[in-house]
């Protein structure tokens, strides 16, 4: 069974051994920013988040295709989450019996 990065929207397949030492199940690309942001103040993280939201809003405003892509991606993530939760519920229910 393929293991996929747990960061929402990433979808990168993880290499064998990822998380074997108790770490999060995330790919190297999603893990590396954690080292950069680890010692930054909370205010810097909040400002970055605000800027990213603004940039995303600008893209959606000026290019409606981006809004469609973001909307489609949001729907795909929600659908995948529902499927994963259904599978998880079914497997945990199956394990109890």
Q: How many other CB atoms sit within 10 Å of the CB of residue 18? A: 18
49-68, pLDDT tens digit by residue? 999 999 988 888 888 887 78
The structural domain count of the chain equals: 1
72 part of a folded domain: yes
Query: What's the pTM?
Result: 0.50
Interior/surface letters 71-82, b for 16+ CB within 10 angstroms, e for the rest = eeeeeeeeeeee
79-90, pLDDT tens digit by residue? 888 888 887 777
9 part of a folded domain: no
- Residue 49 structural domain: 42-96
Q: Please give the torsion angle defined by the CA atoms of residues 22, 30, 6 and 66, in that order, rounded to the nearest 10 degrees.
A: 170
Question: What sign has the CA pseudo-torsion 9, 48, 33, 29?
Answer: positive
């Amino acid at each position: 069974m393929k293991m996929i990065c747990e960061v929402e929207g990433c979808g990168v397949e993880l290499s064998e051994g990822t998380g074997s030492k108790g770490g999060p199940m995330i790919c190297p690309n999603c893990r590396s920013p954690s080292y950069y942001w680890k010692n930054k103040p909370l205010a810097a993280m909040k400002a970055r988040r605000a800027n990213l939201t603004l940039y995303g809003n600008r893209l959606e405003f000026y290019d409606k295709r981006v809004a469609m892509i973001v909307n489609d991606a949001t729907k795909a993530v929600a659908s995948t989450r529902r499927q994963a939760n259904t599978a998880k519920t079914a497997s945990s229910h199956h394990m109890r019996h």
